[in-house]
Amino acid sequence: MAVSERRVLPRYYFVTLVDVSVPGFSDSLWGAVANISRTGIALYIRQQLKPGSAVTIRFRFQGEGGREVSETITAKLVWQRGETAGLEFEPPMLANSPASKKAPHLADYLSKKEATEG
């Protein structure tokens, strides 16, 4: 029996590290992005997260003049199998949405991927 695809929007590879802040943990957790879309992200993360838990994901980008720029997105854990976790952005990073305006570097990355990869 074939498994139906639940994804609404395409996912793109995005090789980067992120910090994951989880309520109840004093320090941020380290994660590596497996793939990303406007609605969510798959991470490689060693720690077991609580199902349905809300987290804050911090991305780092190189801004003007080479300075580091960080952007944060709120997400909810949807599933976790071993060291891989799927999280849904709350709210989604839809084009020109308040979430996209809050994280313009990430929104720009997704727009460029959509334009080149469809």
The residue ranges of every structural domain in the chain are 17-117
Indicate whether 22 pLDDT > 50. Answer: yes
What is the secondary structure of 25-82 as a DSSP string?
A: -SSPEEEEEEEE-SSEEEEE-SSPPPTT-EEEEEEEEE-GGG-EEEEEEEEEEEEEET
Mean of pLDDT over the chain: 88
Q: Give the tens place of pLDDT for each residue, 42-72.
A: 999 999 999 899 999 999 888 788 889 999 9
Amino acid at 33: V
Residue with tokens 């084009």: 95
- Per the DSSP assignment, residues forming a β-bridge with 30 are 19
Asked if pLDDT for residue 2 goes beyond 50, the answer is no
Reported confidence tier of residue 7, pLDDT bands at 50, 70, 90: low
CA atoms of 90 and 40, how far apart (whole Å): 9
CATH of 17-117, one of 3.30.450.40, 3.40.50.1110, 3.20.20.10, 2.40.10.220: 2.40.10.220
* Of residues 81, 85, 67, the one with CA closest to residue 20: 85
Tell me the pLDDT tens digit for each residue of 95-114: 889 999 999 999 999 999 99
Confidence (pLDDT) at 118: 64
